[in-house]
Chains A and B, each alone.
Chain A
Amino acid sequence: AQKVTQAQTEISVVEKEDVTLDCVYETRDTTYYLFWYKQPPSGELVFLIRRNSFDEQNEISGRYSWNFQKSTSSFNFTITASQVVDSAVYFCALSEEGRGSTLGRLYFGRGTQLTVWP
């Protein structure tokens, strides 16, 4: 079973539009961490954010914001006033800390290709 689901394969927006990337996860562990990574055309994955399972506070960093809801097992990512430089593939990932889990192992979703047009 897929531990992380990113249902949106591709999204296209025009510059300055807001866009939300969805992420749904599945785990039986009570302690876990959720991550978002950005993969620009150069290929290198860039860390954006990490949240632990006990902290449901939403976070805002500049034009980026994240909404973590345990009730729906979702960790969605919103870019406000998108820019062309935001064009990339965005990955949501899960890391578990339960007994039997491999500490540090990241389970990635399939990614969402975001294209921002000028």
Chain B
Amino acid sequence: EAGVAQSPRYKIIEKRQSVAFWCNPISGHATLYWYQQILGQGPKLLIQFQNNGVVDDSQLPKDRFSAERLKGVDSTLKIQPAKLEDSAVYLCASSNGLAGAYNEQFFGPGTRLTVL
């Protein structure tokens, strides 16, 4: 079974530029998560989708971040414009079935973003 795929693996941009990350979850997984992991910290949830609907985006800085999962499969996360403090690893995860506290989440390798 293929794992969660993410691209690109690394991205370097200058502040005020735009960037987009892509995630393809494990086949059949209904729930998809985007996390931000700043160096030295644990991952923090940005947004959670169930199929193509948003379950929780309370931690997403909506003035600059946006995410979509149009067909309920793969997802993109965009930052526009980027700030220095957005430098982090962006992790995508997916879980089987509907969103639940019980669910094991499977993580992708992440995209390391550096904003100069």
Chain A residues near B (Cβ < 8 Å):
4, 31-33, 35, 37, 42-47, 50, 52, 91, 93, 95-97, 101-106, 108-111
Minimum CB distance partner of A37 in chain B: B107
Given pairs A42-B109, A44-B3, A91-B42, 8 additional interface contacts (CB within 8 A)? A31-B101, A43-B89, A43-B109, A44-B110, A45-B91, A91-B43, A108-B44, A111-B40
Chain B residues whose C-beta falls within 8 Å of the C-beta of A105 in the assembled complex: 45, 48, 56
Chain A residues whose C-beta falls within 8 Å of the C-beta of B42 in the assembled complex: 4, 91, 93, 108-111
Chain B interface mostly: loop
Tally of B interface residues using CB under 8 Å? 31
Residues 5-33 of B, flagged 1 when their CB comes within 8 A of A and 0 if not, give 00000000000000000000000000101
A103-B99, A104-B33, A105-B48 known; A45-B104 Cβ under 8 A = no
Question: What is the bound-complex CA distance between A99 and B109, given in angstroms?
Answer: 32
Nearest 5 interchain pairs by C-beta: A108-B42, A104-B99, A45-B107, A97-B101, A95-B101
Chain A residues whose C-beta falls within 8 Å of the C-beta of B110 in the assembled complex: 43-44
Chain B residues whose C-beta falls within 8 Å of the C-beta of A4 in the assembled complex: 42
Interface-central residue, B40, B42, B56, B58, by most chain A CB under 10 Å: B42
Q: Are A104 and B41 in touch, CB under 8 angstroms? A: no
Q: Are A101 and B44 in touch, CB under 8 angstroms? A: no
Minimum CB distance partner of A9 in chain B: B40
Contact among A31, A43, A47, A96 with B105 in the assembled complex (CB-CB below 8 Å):
A47
Contact among A33, A97, A101, A111 with B41 in the assembled complex (CB-CB below 8 Å):
A111
Chain A residues whose C-beta falls within 8 Å of the C-beta of B87 in the assembled complex: none
